[in-house]
Structures are given as structure tokens and as C-alpha cells.
Structure 1
């Protein structure tokens, strides 16, 4: 279930036609669903109007072929509730939420945040997004599973980068009999091991570029084909080198990472241009050539 990248026109409005092509590319690649307005969507850089355009376009173009999760990610509960209202009006199938950020929060405040949002989404599923590198808070395993037992959370996307975290979530879920609770990894490079531990799927940003590769990887891992899954994972690890083409002496990791996904999508003819939301920095021609080499090495061009 890839987090869908957001294409821009030259005037930094949302490039709706490129986004429609991306939705079709992802669904053709066999994805189980789409996560609109996630980190790879540059969600925190988008205005409320831009978020609505992105989500409406994804929902319309998917046309019921796969479920759509909407990121309702923002700094505080009142802002998040505005995004929930928009997503409900557009028709999202579920919602994805981080802990509040910018201010320091206590676990009691984070719990209240999740409960208030759950009240707003009603019977639609709510997924926790554990993203400590950006939010500066690691959601404790017990905290997440307690909210799952109480009907607040339907699943978690774990982007902590910790194998232990994934295994603890799976083990805790199974020990508590929470078989309907979904554990998803946000890592591009350890999907085979996460599925082997018992995770239910993956939400990889690189899945925008090679959705069919991740679909095949998850299927092989779930079927117990460890050798086949490892082979596909290692090919995708080599492709993931696209995120290392940006020069970190002149740009941040977000610009280099998401910028490489957008560059790849442009080289594949899906995006019209690889523009990033300001103040992020664009990849230059030398860096774009590095992305091209990675795509060629992975057999995509």
C-alpha cells in the first residue's frame, strides 16, 4: 500500500493528470490499496486545499478498485479534525494519524489525540503512523496494542526502522488475540523479514516507482518462498540507492529521498516534472542521471 507521491505543475498547483497516471500505474502494479497524503506525498508541505485536491483525485481515479487511506497528519488535534472532515466528505476508506508534533507531548495527551480523532472518523478504520524520526516520539508497543484492544486503532504503520518493534507488535498482537489488527512496515529494505515475522504488509515510498516489485516481494514472503523474497528484496535494495543520489551537502534527506522518487517517476513518463514543494531543493542534472542509472540497473528502463 504505497504512500502516493504528489506531482506539481510549474506554478506548484497539484498536477492532477500526472497524479491520475500514478494511480493507474500503482493499481496496474497490483497494490492492495493506496495511502494518500503520507510522508512521500509531502503531506506536511501541502495546504489544506492542496490536500483536498490530492485526495479527491486519488479517490476518483481509483474508482473503487482499491481502498484509499487518507493521511490526516498535522501538528495538533484541531488541525487534524479539519483534515478528517475533508477526508470523510471526499470518501476515504480509512485514516492514518501520527502523534501530535512540534510541542512536546505526554503519552496521556497522545492517547487523547487518538481517541478524539477516532470519535470523528466513526466506524472507519484508524491507523497509527509510528514515525519517530519526524515526530520525535516513539509509540510504545503496549500503548498501540491497548488502543487496538479498545477499538481505537485498526492497525499501525511502523516506520521506526526497528526490526524489534515490528516483532514486538506482531508477538503482542498474537498474544492478545487481536487477529484483525494490521501490522505494516514502512521500511523499503526489510519487507521480506517483516513479512516473515508475521507483519501483514508494507507501505514503502519506493513502491511508487516499482509497485509490481513490492507486490511480488510481499506475495513471495507471505507464501514462504524465502529465497524468492530475498532475491526480490535485494533487487529493490539496489533500486533504493536512488535516494542516495542527492548531494546532502546542499539538500536535506527529504529532498534527496522523495525527490528521487519523483525523478524516477518523471523518467518513467508518469510525472511531467519532478518538482518538490518549497522549501525543498530539486535534484540537478547530475543527480538525475544517477537516478536513471539505478532505474536501468533494476530493469525498469
Structure 2
């Protein structure tokens, strides 16, 4: 389908369910997609950080996009991450995911070596020139070690290189600048600005953001759709109450013991455990070499779900 201009609403970064031997569990993936679609989400972002894209083979990446795009049949826009170190590798992924049915691609700055803003700009321009679908920038400096400057994002938006931004930088001042400028400049009309935060969606929408890409929406899509609708209706007291409920639920990402695992193992393990406990996916395993949650840690996740009324 054609990507809406601008893209708005709740666009979950979809978890990738795996089998015990770490292959893509397509039946569980499609149940998860139905769970999200039935909640009223506005699009799906495949192959992002929450999707464990960095841990998947190229074959598995393509399988995810092919399976979801075919299952949806155009009911929702499908965004696909093409995250890789260099421009040629990203362009290879663009060809694969667009052939598989993606409606837009999501691109980070190049990484491994540190890059200059001029090189980052060249990267996005080359990817956009080689992509048959719109390009959305993904600002995630914790993973790629480069922050996308607000002025660069706006320049690329004005030039038609970028259709949108998913901001997971934590830089609220920079995010505010992009939101404010994009809304007032005639040369950025239709540019979509989405927050990647689970915790400040109400504040981001109050600033003028177009939507959100929260990983926790895998677990509670109804909550985030409800939050979005409350904000759009101007019910800020209701939105704040719903946001605070979701903030409490987000505490599950710390279920894992930091003495024996990293934050990614803990957070993604918690999301998948929650989806398993809710009967949506068959197996809660995460990709290697992430550390699995223990029985006691799984019990913590269950308590968070119960506290949020999701069990």
C-alpha cells in the first residue's frame, strides 16, 4: 500500500518470535501481527531493534517481511528496517525488503566507523536514490554511535530525501526542534515525526509529534492506541493516566539481573515472555547470544502483566 503522508498513530516495532532452535516462528509472528492489527494500530515496523534485526540472518529478515506483508495484504503499512553498517549493504537490504512487500524502509546512520555529518547525509541521499519506497530515518545513537542533528534531518526532509523520523535518541530538545520546524516549514509538509519512547508518548503528541513506535506496544497495543486516541481528543488528564499505567508496565524491562545480562537481553526477554504468557507466541526465546530470563525473572514479568490487568 502507499505510505500515508504523514504517517501517524501507533506503529509498533514488531517482535520476531523464534522457535527453540532460533528460526523465525512464522505462525507465532502472524498471531502477533493479528493481535496488533485487531488493537487498531496504524502500521507495523519490522526489523528494528525490538525485532532483534541485528541478530537475524539476511534469509530470516526477508522471511519476516514476506510473511507479514503477504498476511496483511495491504491492510496496514509495513515499514522494514534495513539496518547495516554501510551504504552498499543497506541498499542490498532495500532491494530485498521492497521485493518482499515493504511499503517504506527505515535507515540508521552508517556505523562501525565514526561518520561525519556530511557522510551521514550522503548515506541517506544515496539510499533514497536507490529505494523505490519512502525512507524513514532512525535516530538511535546508542546503537550506531552517531546522533542525527536536527538541522540535517530537516534539510533532508526539505529535499524530499526523508519521509519521516523515528527518534529513539533521548534528545528531547532536538526532537522538539524537529517537530516544531517540520510543522511550520512549507518545504517539510507531509514529513512524519515519531517518538520511539514508551514513556513520553503523551508529551511527544502534545508537542505535535505524529505518532509513536513503542516496543511495549507488542505487549499492550490496546493501551497505546487508547493513549493516542485520548491525546488526539484533547483529553490530557485521561492520556496522562493511561501513560502512567503504561510506564508502570514498562518496568518489566528491568526484570533481568544486570549482574548476568545486558539491558537488551532483559527488555526483549521480558517483552517475549509477556507475549508468551498472554498466549500470543509459542516460545519466549531471544536470539543468541542474548541471555534468557530465569524462572524467577519470568515471575516478575507475570506480576507486571497482572498489575496492568493483562492476565
CA distance in 1, matches of 2:100, 2:106: 15
Q: Structure 1 residue 188 and structure 2 residue 198: aligned?
A: yes
- 2:210 paired residue number: 200
**How big is each residue's C-alpha offset from its partner over 1:125-158, in whole Å with a ceiling of 9 and x where there is no partner?**
1100000111111100000000000000011000
CA distance in 1, matches of 2:265, 2:73: 31
CA distance in 2, matches of 1:91, 1:213: 28
270, 283, 292: which one pairs with 2:280? 270
Which range is displaced more, 173-182 or 193-202?
173-182
CA distance in 1, matches of 2:240, 2:104: 31
CA shift, 1:120, in A, is 1.3
| Equivalent residues of 2:150, 2:175 under 8 A apart | no
- 1:137 paired residue number: 146
- 1:102 paired residue number: 112
CA shift, 1:171, in A, is 1.2
Q: Structure 1 residue 85 and structure 2 residue 124: aligned?
A: no
42, 65, 74: which one pairs with 2:75? 65
| Equivalent residues of 2:147, 2:169 under 8 A apart | yes
How do 1:89-168 residues align onto structure 2 when only pairs under 5 Å count?
89-122=99-132, 124-168=133-177
CA shift, 1:174, in A, is 2.4
**How big is each residue's C-alpha offset from its partner over 1:190-220, in whole Å with a ceiling of 9 and x where there is no partner?**
0000000000000000000001100010111
**How big is each residue's C-alpha offset from its partner over 1:84-120, in whole Å with a ceiling of 9 and x where there is no partner?**
0101111111110000111111111111111111011
CA distance in 1, matches of 2:57, 2:86: 15
- 1:19 paired residue number: 29
Q: Which runs of 4+ in 1 moved over 3 A?
A: none
- 1:172 paired residue number: 181
**How big is each residue's C-alpha offset from its partner over 1:160-208, in whole Å with a ceiling of 9 and x where there is no partner?**
1232222111111123222301000000000000000000000000000
| Equivalent residues of 1:4, 1:205 under 8 A apart | yes
Which range is displaced more, 172-181 or 224-233?
172-181
CA distance in 2, matches of 1:216, 1:300: 15
**How big is each residue's C-alpha offset from its partner over 1:14-68, in whole Å with a ceiling of 9 and x where there is no partner?**
0011001000000011100000101100011111001011111111222211110
- 2:291 paired residue number: 281
| Equivalent residues of 2:192, 2:210 under 8 A apart | yes
CA shift, 1:79, in A, is 1.1
CA shift, 1:282, in A, is 0.6
Give the 3-state SS of the residue equivalent to 2:162 in structure 1: coil
Computed over aligned residues only, the root mean square deviation of the Cα atoms, in angstroms, reads 0.8
CA distance in 1, matches of 2:145, 2:250: 25
- 2:7 paired residue number: none
CA distance in 1, matches of 2:139, 2:37: 25
TM-score scaled by length of structure 1? 0.98
| Equivalent residues of 1:24, 1:61 under 8 A apart | no
CA distance in 1, matches of 2:194, 2:78: 15
TM-score scaled by length of structure 2? 0.95
Q: Structure 1 residue 76 and structure 2 residue 86: aligned?
A: yes
